[in-house]
Amino acid sequence: MPTATAGDTAILARDFDLRHLSPEFYANPYPVYSALRTHEPVKRMPDGSLFLTRFRDVQAVYRDPKTFSSDKTVEFKPKYGDSPLYTHHTTSLVFNDPPRHTRVRKLIAGALTARAIAAMEPGLVRLVDGLLDAAAERGRIDLIGEFASAIPVEIIGNLLDVPHAEREPLRDWSLAILGALEPSLTSEQFERGNRAVTEFVDYLRDLVARRRREPGDPQHDVLTRLIQGERGEGGDGEQLSEEELLQNCIFILNAGHETTTNLIGNGLVTLTEWPDQRAALLEDPSSIESAVEECLRFESSNQLGNRMTTSDTQIGGVPVARGTPITLCIGAANRDPEQFAEPDRFDIRRAPNRHLAFGFGIHQCAGLSLARLEARIAIGRFVQRFPAYRLDGEPTRGGRVRFRGFASVPLLC
């Protein structure tokens, strides 16, 4: 392939518009991100928003939640109007600022305890081994449908102790609600998203009522902890309102689904593309921890974050007016050569590896320990069980820019 000239990459950067992306971009956005970092790191989009690709700029924005707000009550109004999607997203922890964010975060982070997460490990190993046994019998597997997506749905279902017989609709609800966060939205996606929120809230209202009547063990049952707030901890009795509880349960279920599915899927596909790294992992299974960090960095499953400026400011020396929407490109920041030596090389022993795949600062992912645990067990055990697994046809991309991953990946194992 001919190498791109500086003129070519300048054109790539100039023509970039998040609302009009090509199939080549979805397949491999990194050349475009690299062009943007080089030529227009603080890129103004046709709609007036800014798109950031440098690690230091993205991190600086995360560090200053006062100037760069997460509150979406104004920004989402034109997109969602007065709709269930609007209520859901604007009540979710991730789309709020302090003081509401601080209060809700304390309760959610307090419920996702190390003890609750550690208690999930034996069940997780059993689940993963069961899926691997089924794949071994067939000799082939759709990595996403039959493995990667089956794990988070089960784990988050367990976290909130959702009865097994009631879990089936969770994944579709989650995909529909997160799909509605794409930069441009069809009326069909909008309707699907709204229907999903309504059905999900109805379902959870009933589940919460049942749990109030028969509380679970608050050591392990995150939903019971959220219902009880801090009462059991001798705290100040702060509790979530009913609306906050229902919408944030949806948020937790969603936050841990597609992102973790894609981490597992992206990681196992990337290992097929870097056979020396797969061999290194096979030789030293204890490198799974740093391998998962590298999977998070190299193909970040959550590629974009958003903020809005609350005052006139500057980013990377560029003046920015109050009320400017900002897109933080995590996928680009995690390939920034200023932060990572040879960023386009997948290196399972990379150290240091201070990536931004889980964000940074007050909104940093509250489920990161769970996501890491799931990925370590899923990726580690898959590779050890099927050391020579390989693609059995072309993978199909998920077709989303925010949540990077595959819809299906046929594998021979």
**Contact residues for ligand HEM, defined by CB under 6 A:** 70, 93-94, 105, 108, 156, 252, 255-256, 259-260, 263, 301-302, 305, 357-359, 363, 365-367, 370-371
Q: Give the nearer residue to ligand HEM in terms of CB position, either 13 or 332.
A: 332
Question: In the complex with ligand HEM, which residue's Cβ is closer, 34 or 260?
Answer: 260
How far, in Å, CA of 152 to CA of 124, rounded?
Answer: 10
Q: Which is nearer to ligand HEM, 12 or 221 (CB)?
A: 221
CB-based contacts of 114, cutoff 8 Å, min separation 6: 369
Provide, rounded to whole angstroms, the least separation between the CB of residue 66 and ligand HEM: 14
| Closest CB 256 distance from ligand HEM, rounded Å | 3
- Looking at the Cβ atoms of 12 and 401, the one nearer to ligand HEM is 401
Q: What whole-number distance in Å separates Cα of residue 380 and Cα of residue 271? A: 11
**Residue 319 backbone dihedrals phi, psi, to 5 degrees:** -65, 140
The string of DSSP codes covering 182-231 is: SSS--HHHHHHHHHHHHHHHHHHHHHHHHHHHS---TTT-HHHHHHHTTG
9 or 69: CB nearest ligand HEM: 69
Least gap, CB of 111 to ligand HEM (angstroms)? 10
Kindly tell me the burial class for residue 30, based on how many C-beta atoms sit within 10 Å of its own C-beta (0-12, 13-18, 19 or more): middle
Q: Which is nearer to ligand HEM, 174 or 260 (CB)?
A: 260
Measure Cα distances from 365 to 21, 109, 184, 357, 371 in Å: 27, 10, 25, 9, 10
CB count in 10 Å sphere of residue 25: 17
Q: Please, what is the angle between helix 6-15 and helix 30-39, to 10°?
A: 100
> Among all chains, which residue has been given the structure tokens 């919408």?
247
Q: Which two tokens stand for residue 401?
A: 């820019």
As measured in angstroms, the least distance from the Cβ of 2 to ligand HEM is: 34
Residue whose C-beta lies closest to ligand HEM: 367
Measured CA angle at 305 (ends 300, 306), to 5 deg: 170
Q: Which is closer to ligand HEM, CB of 125 or CB of 136?
A: 125
The token duo for 348 is 């399972």
Distance of closest approach, residue 109 Cβ to ligand HEM, in angstroms: 8
Which of 9, 92 has the CB closer to ligand HEM? 92
Our CB check for ligand HEM shows the closer of 9 and 149 to be: 149
Smallest gap from Cβ 363 to ligand HEM, in A, equals 3
Strand partners, 382: none
Smallest distance from the beta carbon of 225 to ligand HEM, in angstroms? 13
Per 3-state DSSP, the chain is made up of helix, strand and coil in percentages (nearest 5) of 55, 10, 35
- DSSP codes of every residue in 302-315: B-EEEEEESS-EEE
Smaller CB distance to ligand HEM: residue 13 or 298?
A: 298
Q: Sign of torsion, CA 9 11 14 19?
A: negative
- In whole angstroms, the minimum distance from the beta carbon of 97 to ligand HEM comes to 10
Please report how close the Cβ of residue 108 comes to ligand HEM at its closest, in angstroms.
Answer: 5
Shortest distance, position 75 Cβ to ligand HEM, whole Å = 13
